[in-house]
Amino acid sequence: MKVILIGHTQLSRKFREILKEEFGEEVFTDGQAIALTAIRTCYSPNKPSEIIPKEGAKYFGSKATDGQGGTEADRLIRMIFASKHTSTLEGITFNFAVEGVSRALLAQLTRHRAGFSFSVQSQRYVKFGSGDRSEGFDYVVPDSIVNGDTYRVRECINGEVDEFKSKEIFDEVVEYLQRAYDDLRDVGIPAEDARAILPNAAATNLVMTVNLRALLDFYAKRKVGRGAQSEITQLAERLREEVVAVEPWVNQFFEEA
């Protein structure tokens, strides 16, 4: 699995010039500026473009009065998060390249619909034959199978029993499915129909766009300890790492999710 942050919401050049002219040096991330502008617009007599120029010193220039660290802006965002007024965080979006995940994970991931959009590698238009540019389909093996013990699963004609590790059983089935896919394509079956035999383990790639509110909700449901499958908990942690790298202030909300 590979997760890369392609891009995320940033202040426009015009809005940044307004802030620089009227507020001076930036002491906040783009995400914090967007969050504060949205939050205070709901409660302030000032116009959105005036929030940071007129109120920025108060929120970004003062220590948090709730004793939890950071600035007054951090305190305000914490209060909004606690009160569930998190629609104000929907304006902050992140675009990810997600590579080498299973179709089983994709089925789980796309159950998260509000605030998400997906562009997924097609098994209809991308051909996964051994002789195609893809050189066959990649696949993801669950951790429990990779680490599985030896199993006595096959009795021979002479009465002896062969022992196989779970990974060996898994690989054998996947190799058979690859040969079957190739055979179907060789006799003229179109890729859109041959794909019907590809397993849930078949790997895929996607571009995912999600706003901060939806991402925090996803993380709360899919993080370790919430009963989610291992692969999607790994995805949840990778997404968190990518977001926190560019918007460090968000980490506290992942911890509380």
d(C-alpha 23, C-alpha 33), whole Å = 12
d(C-alpha 171, C-alpha 169), whole Å = 6
Q: Which residues pair with 152 in a beta bridge?
A: 163
Q: Is 222 one of the catalytic residues? A: yes
d(C-alpha 212, C-alpha 239), whole Å = 11
DSSP state at residue 70: S
The beta strand positions in the chain, using DSSP E, are: 2-8, 93-102, 116-120, 150-155, 161-165, 203-211
The catalytic position among 78, 195, 213, 222 is 222
Give the residue carrying structure tokens 């066959």: 136
d(C-alpha 108, C-alpha 58), whole Å = 43
- Token pair for 206: 């996607």
Q: Which residues are catalytic?
A: 222
